[in-house]
Amino acid sequence: MGGTIKQTSYGLLNGYAALMPAGQIDSLALGTEVLHVSPDRRVRSYLDVASLVAQGGSTSIGTTGLPTTTYTGKGVTIAVVDSGVSDHDDLKTSSGSSRIRVRWSALSSGSSDDEYGHGTHVAGILGGTGLDSSTPYCFRRFRGMAPAVNIVSLKVLDSTGQGQVSDVLKALDWVVQNRTTYNIRIVNLSLGHPAFESCLTDPLCKAVEKLVATGTVVVVSAGNWGRLGYGSVTSPGISPSAITVGAMNDLNTLAVSDDVITTYSSRGPTWPDHILKPDLVAPGNRIVSLRREGSYLDQTYPANRLLAKEYTKDPKLIDKAGVYYELSGTSMAAPIVSGAAALMLEKEPKLNPATVKARLMKTAQKIGRDPYTFGAGYINVTGALGSTAVAVVAPSPHVYRNPLLSGQLAVEDTGALWGNTAVWGNTAVWGNTAVWGSSAVWGDTAIWGNSAVWGDTAIWGDTAIWGDTILTQGD
């Protein structure tokens, strides 16, 4: 048909990637051996650049219930599928060796290093030691969730933070092939694309579902399109078995009571499957983590660099730019959950992905009445580490029209879905104040999918959304 094969096969999918003339796609789709054809969509990181002086970092992480514990993620490896992860003092062991076990790139050109600056920041959130902010001169420390975790860097985003679905699929295949060698227990995906098709046919979602079935926890950012309203969670966050994470703003205080959802955090249910997402929320606003000096973000947004004087009184550094950087987005919330999962797996190495997800959701603090915004609540690491409940499977439930109450919505019972109503019932997971709403309140267009919301290039076209991925607010 005049096309060129890009990838002959995928271990997680019975398919291939190809470049084809647009006029031949219909003929291909009609082939008797072809079940489905999906575009090789662009994926982007989910960050929101804040330009104000940093106030987050360790304070933000502290509000999640990070316990005083001996658990550090030791022995657990997290695959960071992102723009690459660069060397940093905070990603080294106490003896000075790098905890980045492997650097791999799906891109045909360029190095495996982080040219964009996003992947290094994500890695610091889930696994930074805070070494460079822990000298005797320092008065603030920026420590990640699991400071002893090992990292596998799988680069799929280029120097501008863009990539292709086909490259993400290559990375997930790499995880399957190498997960035993490196003890990869968790995959962090702080990226995605708008949901244009069901999770049953979306290539990324199908790959995520199969990856979870191998025993790998997959944590995904929900997306930064919450300002568009309900039904804005992106792929692969629409995957039922993924742990999909929204972003909270802690307002720079230690108290959880004043925390609010960020305006950009994507809301469920998913389109077009009506799955209740996100699964939970975590701090994601103005998070301080590792700076990749000279990267695209570092050069384009220099105001996001922390000055050394903002965390140290060292006279040799006082007038210099520091080694930390501030970003916001659901991209920053996801690695907090990935790091928490690493602590859980260090404590109990035999936990399956379903139990990790179910414990995180059940123990989350019930902070709002809107599950389409907050999911099961605000991550509570202490509670998750203390939980003993076990789940066999933990797909996120579907939302549907209540057949008994006209115009009202209902949700599948998580107890029935997850195998134990007494342990995982809706009240236990979602709280007793959750309001499922009505079609009159939420509207068919937002929840049930309508071309006016999702199918129009005027909304999801390059100039409308993708050309403005780097937002200007951090709220």
How many other CB atoms are found less than 10 A from the CB of residue 320? 12
Cis peptide leading into residue 236 (ω within 30°): yes
Q: Is 118 a catalytic residue?
A: yes
Q: Is 9 a catalytic residue?
A: no
Query: Comparing C-alpha atoms, which of 64, 102, 443, 116 is closest to residue 283?
Result: 64
How far apart CA 399 and CA 430 sit, in angstroms, is: 13
The amino acid at 150: N
How far apart CA 360 and CA 117 sit, in angstroms, is: 29
Q: Cβ-count burial of 137 within 10 angstroms (0-12 exposed, 13-18 middle, 19+ buried)?
A: middle
- Check 48, 82, 132, 279 and give the catalytic one: 82
CB contact burial 36-49 (16+ within 10 A = b; e otherwise): eeeebbebbbbbbb
How far apart CA 353 and CA 212 sit, in angstroms, is: 7
How many other CB atoms are found less than 10 A from the CB of residue 439? 16
How far apart CA 381 and CA 377 sit, in angstroms, is: 12
CA dist 268 to 190, 332, 374, 392, 470, Å? Answer: 17, 19, 9, 24, 22
CA dist 182 to 11, 55, 80, 89, 100, Å? Answer: 18, 35, 13, 22, 11
Query: Comparing C-alpha atoms, which of 166, 149, 173, 127 is closest to residue 39?
Result: 166
First to last CA, the chain: 49
- Check 241, 265, 331, 387 and give the catalytic one: 331
How far apart CA 246 and CA 329 sit, in angstroms, is: 9
How many other CB atoms are found less than 10 A from the CB of residue 447? 25
- Check 88, 118, 121, 274 and give the catalytic one: 118
DSSP symbol at 227:
G
How far apart CA 205 and CA 12 sit, in angstroms, is: 11
Name the token pair of 98: 């790098």
Q: Is 331 a catalytic residue?
A: yes
Which residue pairs, CB below 8 angstroms and at least 24 apart, start in 307-314? 310/53, 310/54, 310/140, 311/133, 311/138, 311/139, 311/140, 311/141, 311/142, 312/133, 312/135, 312/137, 312/138, 312/139, 313/137, 313/138, 313/139, 314/135, 314/137, 314/138
Q: Name the residues annotated as catalytic.
A: 82, 118, 331
